[in-house]
Amino acid sequence: MRDAVCYTRKTLQVKGDLLDLSTPLVMGILNNTPDSFYDGGKYNNLKSISERAEKMLIEGATFLDIGGYSTRPNAEDISVKEELSRVLPVIKEINRLFPQSYISIDTFRAEVAKAAVQEGACIINDISGGQLDEKMFATVSQLQVPYILMHSRGTPQTMSQMTSYNHILEDLIFYFQDRLHTLKQLSCKDIIVDLGFGFAKTIEQNHFLLHHLPYFKVLNCPILVGVSRKSMIFKKLGIGSQEALNGTTALHALAVKNGASILRVHDVKEAIEVIKLLNLSNS
């Protein structure tokens, strides 16, 4: 691994636009769920969701990641019909109000991903890396949109019991190389990798991976980091998710220093400030 040529793609093709990733971009989290770990139930109608989307875009978010299925540990399983009823009206409304925005659909279901893209989403963010729906990779190939390939194990209901690895860095590299090969065989382009912080990993494993983020540059894919207000912060500090902004900011700085191309966040303004300050210090 040490002798490999390690670099990360610095562009992303979205909606016909070529986005520059040489300076990290921010993805705002917009959940229409009653039970997400931080913002569950906060934005449960089109007005509040649209206002939240507008605020994130004004503060500098490049992407809006819309989800209708909570993926926190032990989250309730819901039907495809219920998930569609939560996300499609939101995507339609945001696309109407902010037609230049880049909307990501946060789902592991191919049927939801396809319907969301048809409604105006332009990125698929799959927490299962295609493992929970065998049709997902073919759907990504058919739709030809960027795909966020995340590492996880099991389901949101079982993942907390699946944290045993032989060697976590090598295990994740093998996982990504295997799935990237399959995606490329299907002519999928613009793949982003996400190490899956908080998914089938202990708090210590999460921090170990964040400190070793440069190891994954060998994949030559943009790296998305999603640590915002997660338990790897608030449980470590003995606080709640509502008090985890300062810890989130600290880890965002580490992620950017270690090569993250996209930060997936609840707090856009603060993440943008981290990127601006680090960009100045690196110039």
Identified catalytic residue from 81, 179, 230, 235: 230
Query: What is the pairing mode between strands 25-31 and 11-14?
Result: unpaired
Q: Which is nearest to 227 in space by CA: 198, 270, 253?
A: 198
Q: Tell me how far CA of residue 78 lies from CA of 64, 84, 106, 131, in angstroms.
A: 22, 10, 14, 18
Query: Which strand (E) or helix (H) includes residue 254?
Result: helix 245-257
- Pairwise CA distance, residues 223 & 247, whole Å: 20
Beta-carbon contacts of residue 30 (< 8 Å; ≥ 6 apart)? 43, 49, 52, 53, 56, 64, 65, 66, 67, 90
Cα–Cα dist 42/34, whole Å:
8
Task: Based on the residue annotation, tell me whether 236 is a catalytic residue of this protein.
Answer: no
What lies within 8 Å, CB to CB, of 79 at 6+ separation is none
Catalytic residue among 47, 264, 269, 276: 264
End-to-end CA distance of the chain: 29
> Is 264 one of the catalytic residues?
yes
User: Which residues have a catalytic role annotated?
Assistant: 230, 264
